[in-house]
Structure 1
Amino acid sequence: MGKTRTVNEIADPLMVAEVWMKEGRNVAIATVVETWGSAPRPVGSHLVIDVDGNFQGSVSGGCVEGTVVFEAGDVIASGKPRMMAFGVTDETAWQVGLSCGGRIKVYVEPLG
């Protein structure tokens, strides 16, 4: 028989989302849907967030995760998805650390 892995041992954010949902947690998933220029993570990268602000995965290698996690709380509460855009020409990009010259769009949606 195989050993049951803990969430900390699971690398795939989608599998973490499944585990968290089975535990009864309210969850959102953020997905990189578009990149331009020098983007830290490719299209299709995921970050899963629960209502308490726990998260697993990455949409930017650490640059915008804090902002995405914060906004995910609103997405979970409202049940309404949100498109977020970050780019070097955007003042927000400098505030969150995305100064690499690229631009990313992240779609955040509630699960369950």
Structure 2
Amino acid sequence: MKSYPNVKLLITDYSASTFEYLTIQEQSKIIFFCPDFDKYKKNPGIQNDFLEWAPGPVVKNQELLGQTIQTYSYEANEQGVKQAKLLWNQYENGKTVGKIMALVKKELGEIGGKEE
């Protein structure tokens, strides 16, 4: 996280921030705080194998969250982090935003009757 070099740990739920964090933090330290996991799993739903690929511990209450923050070890989760990076960010090369902007500009140019 170039803008936030002091960020050492991401605490999230089911957010896409996980995938972004995996791309910008070399040693991605993530804790999933999901007190509504069982309910959320039913509606709206979550991937069946979420607990298998989650690149960090999944905790369901504040007490466990506090304990997990105190005892978190990147080394214990390193393999899961590497697998998640390969699974979800295999095409990430740092040029995605530029490619998207070029595509948007091209499409807008075509819609407006001119191409840049």
Normalized against structure 2, the TM-score is what?
A: 0.23
Structure with greater contact order relative to length (CA < 8 Å, sep ≥ 6): 1
Structure with the bigger percentage of helix: 2
